[in-house]
Chain A
Amino acid sequence: MKRAGILMILGSMLLAGLFVFPMWNIRLGAPQYPEPLGIDIHVNGLRGESEFDIQNIDGLNHYIGMKTLPKPEDMWEFSVFPRIVGSMVFLGVMIGTLGFLQKISPIWFLIWFVVMSILGALGVYDFNLWLIDYGSDLDPDAILKLVNPDGTPMQYNPPLIGHKKLLNFDAYSYPRIGGILMGIGMLFTLMAYYMGRKFQLSTK
């Protein structure tokens, strides 16, 4: 149970990596952009992968009538998400410590994992809604008004994950180190649950 507690503490602490490293990244490469433009999505806001990437993406997007990329104060997510992540780290470390001291059952590890998974899923759902809105809520006076072969307006939302062709750009969307650490951390908490459960069964 001690090892399970340590793993639970470690796993939830890996979440704190989100305060340092970007969670997700969207990269836009094109023939005239041999060094792709990139957006690093942090838990508290968007940052350019290179210093002026956000400004340059906004500059390009104005041709197709997309809104400028949101500043931290433009989206409630960027103030709420850090608090949620902070709380989950705190709770995870608490639960892990109590588990380490054998004060609580490992079922709490699982509860933490399930709550975190639900929050994560909601986060991804919310992120996808924003991507769709960002790519489809276009200025009616846009310089370039492009339509799909079926006549519907073209949408420019980057993929949730993976690759998508957007006009001359190749958009790539993948987790970055903060997001990867979060995934590993969650895996650790799940392992902590199984270890704790095994320990519990063996001591019965």
Chain B
Amino acid sequence: MADLSPQLPKTRSTTIPFWRDIRVLGVLAQIAFVIVAVMGITWVVRNTLANLDELGESQFICRDGTSSFRCAYDFMRLDAQFDIAETPIPYEPSDSYWRALGVAAVNTLKVTVLGVILATVLGTLAGIARLSSNWLVSNLAKWYVDLMRNTPLLLQLFFLYFSVILVLPPIKEAIQPFNLPIFFSQRGINIPAPVFMPSFAVWLAFVVLGIIQAQVLWIILGRQEELTGKSSNRFRWALVSFLLVVGIGWYVSGSLTSTQAIMTPKSLRVREFKDLQKIMLNRLKLADLGDIELALSNGTLTQEDIDAAAFRICAQKESASEVNLTSQLRNANIPYTVKRSTRLDQATEAYANGECEILVASQSLLAAEREALEDGANHVILPIAETPVRISIPNLEGLNFVGGAKLTPEFAAILIGLVLYTGGFIAEIVRAGIQAVPKGQSEAARALGLSESQRLRLIVLPQALRVIIPPITSQYLNLAKNSTLAQAIAFPDLWTVSYTTINQSGRAIQIMLIVMGSYLSLSLIISALLNWYNRRIALVER
């Protein structure tokens, strides 16, 4: 029998000199790295401290006039004394630097969160479009991606801001695409926005109730399925019952709460909401309010007639009850004008002076206001219908849009710019992800009889996601960090306001630490969320 055991080579010695030993080399490399790192950090810290010394103790003045490291951030309590163009939370120049940076941070978050969502939607659509067999669709997507990827972002932002948004027509001639209630003008973009009524809270309770009872129904039907062995389509039933409860809740919560009302002089003779319609028909001498447009075009009515006949409403600025009333008037085609006052008692005064025919507010407030009127008995209070949410539509009054939500030109430019740019990269990632799923997966899905949409939804996209998530994470991080380019078009994001703060306070190091810490936290949160998601969808292998 042949000896199959391996022979040790004789020519090489079994002891290895340490400079060839892979274990020793590993330890040496780590020691070398630690030395270099410690030296680097020491240099940075000493340099910073030296610079601080040079700047003098003026950097660290405490409130009692002494100077100490502990007071490095005390200056942040001083008045900022500069204005911020866009304030999602209340802010005045007399507020502190802290508050100014807080406002700016909210602006950055707004751009980042909206940007990430919209860029994902746009990128996914463009990525799927690139795989389309339709020549026009796939080439449009290709040109979009190439244009975005091959030009600098800063250039795109300048182009968007100066050559697209700022050359829009003045506010009086705002562009309204397809007659939708969206207005593009030099002053930005005005869009409709939801306004939550007091009954929204009641409706939310119905939503919770709906979820609970759908869950219960789901369990009951599940038990029944087990007993009978028949499918009872429980998803459909649970959904139907949920929608039923939520739908009923929509009306019930409106009529239950009915907290809002209008006040009119008795002489107007309004007993219910419909009377407003009758009065307007009388004033305009029309049979149907839907005919206003027609009457305008054939000359039986002029715009002046309508303006004269329109109901004059007094309301407090930005009150939910105003939106509630005007959206109902709009639905009924009843013309109206609104006079807004800063406080309710000013609105009541205007009403008492006869400047308007209708005062709108919450029921309890109106009762109190009527008490204050000299001739209170001559006025009636009439509750008006309410739904949990009403849509507020922008309306040009004088030189400004009232109602709805507004995107300033700067915000619109930075948001659209970041979305278009990042969307181009995401499109390529999505396309690569879909193409990375082997053809055999689609064949197996088809052979099992799955429809094309089931194949995409159940087989291709879940697998493509594994490939898509890691590179898309870095695109989200890029978007968050690229938002600092807002400075170029003067959108007050965190970096822009921090830069102003540095110039004004002279505390570069303190502010820089705050800014770096903020962007670092934002990036870490984004990565943590996506890493968690990536782990959840990862494939299990041996």
Same complex: no
